[in-house]
Amino acid sequence: MAGTINSLGIGSGVLTSDVIDKLKANDEALSITPITNKITLAEQKSSALDLLKSLLSTFKSSVSALDEDITFQKRSVNGTTDGVKVTADAGVSVQSFSISDTELAKQYVSQSGRFASKTSLVANGTGAMSLAIDGKTYSIDYTSSTTLEDLASAINNKAGDKIKASILQVGTDDYRMVLTSNATGTSQNITLSDSTGGSLDYALYQQKDIKGSGSFTATSSLVTSSSVTQSTKFSLSQPLTDGGISVEIGGVLYNADFDTDHTTTLTNFKNAIDASGLYTATINGNDVTISANTAGTPYTITTPFTTVDSTALASTTDMTPSVAGTYNITMNGTTYNIAYDGTTTLQQLSDNINTAVGSSVASIKQVGSSYQLILQSTATGNDATFSISDTGGFLDTKLTTGMIDYAPAEVIQQASDASFKYNGITITRSSNEIADLITGVTINLLQNGDSTNIDITQDVDVIGNEMSNMVSSYNTLMDQLNSMTLADVENGKVGIFNGDSTITGIRREITKLLTSLNSNGYSLSQFGIDLNETGTMSFNATTFANKFKEDAAESEKFFSGLITYDTNGNESSREDGIFTQLNSWLDRYTGYSGIMTMLTDASKEETKTLTANKTRSQALLDARYESMTSRFIEYDAIISKLNNQFSSLSQQISMAVNG
């Protein structure tokens, strides 16, 4: 308060603000400072309790992990290789088994025949393509304007949950549509067909070798070549005399132009034949040969001689070809011979081929205004190729040497199931991840032809790690407890909770439990957990692992206890483990309304009460000294007035004395 009223003390020289400040400081030291010290101590205790509660909670977490079944149910898997990976869930029975002769499950992969670009058209009409997979069928519409790229997008949009369609450029002007199943297994094989319309390009769905003939004007077109002719050779044995020769061509009888007499020559005869326009006659010495200009045109020659010897013009050599042969198709190791003659049409040849083979390998495809014979092999793969030949040589070359090879769709990889031997028993699954063979065990097949022996054991390392964590958190907790309860009077070091039986009891109870023996004589020291003379705990992982493996069941019971149940599922007996007991004891301290919570709340409430006390006491003290200051001001004014009056009286007395 010094300097608050600068004039205080001027009148008296005694009642100054400095005097008031000293008086107030003395009162604060007697009444306020003890409260402040108590607040500081309470805050320190509260902070220490918060720290102690946190350390106890951390220690309890480590203890809880060693009390939980899940820690002891974790499993380790030995024997995993690059080709076989096995994982085991917690609690799976400890076991061993063999895996051998692995064959991976595969996806279905196929590629179409060749297209010049992504924008190549895939059909010459309207229809629907059908894709069947895993018992489900997808219908993909197409038109004459659908491109390869459009078709792939349509497949992905409609069947993308099962099939992926992509376009791959494999070379210059060589694009293929690739179909891949999303999953593996034999059910994932894709069957593709032109379900309606029949206008889809064969390169998309035919997986067999396909050949197409050249173009014919109609399905009724003859399949024999137009260059095939009929001919008959005649020989002149003596001069022609009066009479006549009748020639019937195409059902029309010609005889007027063929009257003969003793002046008729072979040249006259040839000219008369040529005049028909349907036949051509040739002369070689005394022989004349008549040949048809168009294949299949029939003719006959009769000699109704009336005045000449009938042997004057006689047929000596029949040169009329049979115009017959066989269309030979060899496929899948079998040759089929399909007969034809000069009257066989394109449609008849197609029907005869299918009858001979016993399946629909031949069809007629209309391309614009023309027609094409299509042949496809009865098999796929290496057996799909086939050859064609003509015995007779009368077929139109468009059916043999003129055949067009279509690039067929090709199955790159058939979808297949995974297979392997489990303890010598062959197992098949649709996926390379098998989780339904052994409960809680997942087998992943990664390579073909692998073999391994798998051992599923209790994961002692996990328990050892939890034990190491417990030891570490125990030592941290004990270091703080030792510091908080320290009583080194000689060196003037006293812990904040020195003499607090509740806090000192924590260390005593924990240590007592951790050094106890169970009914079977088990103790933590046998598992490599020891306390030295300073109370610091140590852990030997090797000793722990060796001891635990001696009898895993008894070790687990020592740590986390054992509960048995009757046939009705009711608890019939219970034996608590060392960490079960410690965990329960720690619950009393770290639980929602445990001892640490109560101590912390009490400390905070004490701090709150002391702070309110201090505030109230300070306010009273401040009010008292405000009042004292006011009185000092009044007293100082009175003294100043009296001093002034005394000064005046003193002057008067002095003047009277001196006068």
* Cα–Cα dist 84/102, whole Å: 8
Of 100 and 226, more confident: 100
Reported as a single tens digit per residue, the pLDDT across 557-591 is 899 888 887 888 787 888 888 999 999 999 988 88
What pLDDT does residue 104 have? 96
Amino acid at 339: A
User: How far apart are the C-alpha atoms of 632 and 623, rounded to whole Å?
Assistant: 14
Which residue bears the tokens 């997008």?
Answer: 153
Could you tell me which residue, 167 or 266, shows the higher pLDDT?
A: 167
Q: What is the pLDDT of residues 84-123, one digit of tens each?
A: 999 999 888 889 999 999 999 999 999 998 899 999 999 8
Tens digit of each residue's pLDDT (9 = 90 or more) over 400-458: 887 877 777 888 999 999 999 999 999 999 999 999 999 999 999 999 999 999 999 98
Angstrom distance (rounded) from CA 649 to CA 201: 140
b/e per residue 219-234 (b: at least 16 CB within 10 A): eebbbbbeebbbbbbb
β-pair partners for 373: 364
In the predicted structure, residue 535 carries a pLDDT above the cut 70: yes
Cα–Cα distance between 564 and 584 in angstroms, integer? 19
Q: What's the pLDDT score for residue 422?
A: 97
**17-41 mean pLDDT:** 80
Tell me the domain boundaries of the chain. 17-31+606-658, 44-70+460-591, 78-104+418-457, 109-205, 215-222+323-406, 231-311
Which of 9-13, 24-28, 51-55 reaches the highest mean pLDDT? 51-55
- Region of 242 please: left (phi>0), alpha (psi -120 to 50) or beta: beta
Q: Tokens 């590629």 belong to which residue?
A: 111
Both tokens of 112, joined, read: 């179409």
CB atoms within 10 A of CB 73: 16
**Poorest-pLDDT segment among 126-135, 316-325, 498-507:** 316-325
Residues of 285-302 as b/e, b for ≥16 C-beta within 10 angstroms? eeebbbbbeebeeebebe
- What percentage of residues in the chain have a pLDDT greater than 70? 80
Task: Inform me whether the pLDDT recorded for 625 exceeds 60.
Answer: yes
- Residue type (1 letter), 377: S
Distance, CA of 274 to CA of 282 (rounded, Å): 9
589, 595 in Cβ contact below 8 A? yes
pLDDT at 321: 57
Going from the C-alpha of 580 to that of each of 269, 299, 458, 560, the distances in angstroms are 130, 117, 20, 5
Amino acid residing at 94:
V
Give the residue carrying structure tokens 């003890």: 34
Mean pLDDT of the chain: 82
Residue 76: the pLDDT is 92
Task: Give the relative orientation of helices 17-31 and 595-658 as an angle to the nearest 10 degrees.
Answer: 150
Q: DSSP class of residue 377? A: -
d(CA 599, CA 53): 10
Lowest mean pLDDT segment, chosen from 205-214, 379-388, 634-643: 379-388
Burial class (CB in 10 A: 0-12, 13-18, 19+), 523: middle
- Over its C-alpha atoms, the chain yields an Rg (Å, rounded) of 58
Q: C-alpha 595: how far from its chain's center?
A: 52
Is a pLDDT exceeding 50 seen at residue 460? yes
Nearest Cα residue to 366 out of 263, 216, 476, 255: 216
82-108 residues labelled b (16+ CB within 10 A) or e (exposed): ebbbbebeeebeeeebebbebbbbbbb
Which of 122-136, 216-230, 541-555 is least confident? 216-230
24 versus 498: which is more confidently predicted? 498
Average pLDDT, stretch 387-392? 87
Burial of 421 (0-12, 13-18, 19+ CB in 10 A): middle
Amino acid identity, position 127: G
Helix, strand, coil % over all residues of the chain, rounded to 5:
35, 30, 35
Query: For the segment 328-375, what is each residue's pLDDT rounded down to a tens digit?
Result: 988 877 899 999 988 899 999 999 999 999 888 898 887 768 888 988
Identify the band that residue 170 occupies on the pLDDT scale cut at 50, 70 and 90. very high
